[in-house]
Structure 1
Amino acid sequence: MKSIDLIEHETYAYWPDDVEDFCVAAEAMIGPDGEDGADIFSFEVCTPKWFYKNRLNSAAFARHVVFVSAYDEKAVQNLVVDTVANITGGTWSEIAEKLSRYFRWEYEDYRS
């Protein structure tokens, strides 16, 4: 784990107008330990209230979304760090592919 940032905001200096009704884009820079490089893994952080009002018609998928009951930057950071720490694989590609189940990987669906 290299960093976690809210897109278009300075790190976690963001605060929603309504802590129980918001959605914000986020990204984590994640790469192999001991290497400088990292890949971008993006996701949204939102409340069920926001999701219900803005995305739920009759049915909806919620891939790459972290749900929180109220804004809690530390809980989001801990969830991301714990998720990354529990992913294992023999190569970076295997690890990144598993991470893409939770976060939108910048190379997801890339074909060489």
Structure 2
Amino acid sequence: MIIPVLKSLGVGIEPDSVDDFWVPLRADIGEEGIEGVDVFYFHLTTPKRLIYVLQHERTVFERGLIIVEKYDYDLAKNLIEKVLLECKGETWEEVTNKIMKYCVSEYGD
């Protein structure tokens, strides 16, 4: 059984405000005990920013969107790690297909 692990999580832009932001996250995910990663992308936002976007765009349709009350890197990291526990598989392709239900990969959809 292949177990995916979060090897690193990068924040594209540090938010200016703790409760009003929309920032990209880059998750380097690989197989437990094996070198190498695939890159997956999420977005971290708050209800305040989501309301702003809805007022201007009228819709939001995005896989990988994580909504939090305020900026909390550790909370986002822990959530992604929790999701990965549900993404075990017999092959890495099976694992990545499960991960991509939650986000977008470096290879697209």
Counterparts of 1:42 and 1:92 in 2: how far apart (Å)?
18
Structure with the bigger percentage of strand: 2
Aligned to 2:3: none
Q: 1:96 is matched with which residue? A: 96
* Distance apart, 1:18 and its partner CA: 2.0
Tell me which residue corresponds to 2:82. 82
Q: How many residues align?
A: 103
Alignment identity in percent? 34
Quick one: distance in 2 between partners of 1:6 and 1:84? 19
Classify the secondary structure of the residue corresponding to 1:45: strand
2: CA distance between counterparts of 1:63 and 1:47?
15
Note the aligned Cα RMSD (angstroms). Answer: 1.7
**Which runs of 5 or more residues in structure 1 are unaligned?**
9-13
What is the aligned partner in structure 1 of residue 17 from structure 2? 18
Matches within 5 A, 1:52-91: 52-55=51-54, 57-91=57-91
Q: Distance in 1 between matches of 2:101 and 2:47?
A: 20
In the alignment, which of 9, 17, 30 is matched to residue 4 of structure 1? 9
Q: TM-score, normalised by structure 2?
A: 0.83
Q: What letter is aligned with 1:87?
A: C
Q: Deviations over 1:54-83 (max 9, x none)?
A: 245433313211110111111111101111
State the alpha-carbon separation in 2 of the partners of residues 58 and 106 from structure 1: 28
Q: Which residue of structure 2 aligns with residue 29 of structure 1?
A: 28
Letter in 1 for 2:19: E
User: 1:21-74: CA deviations, max 9, x gaps?
Assistant: 111111110011222110000111001211221245433313211110111111
Supply the distance in 1 between the matched residues of 2:26 and 2:16 (Cα, whole angstroms): 21
Higher relative contact order (CA 8 A, sep 6+): 2
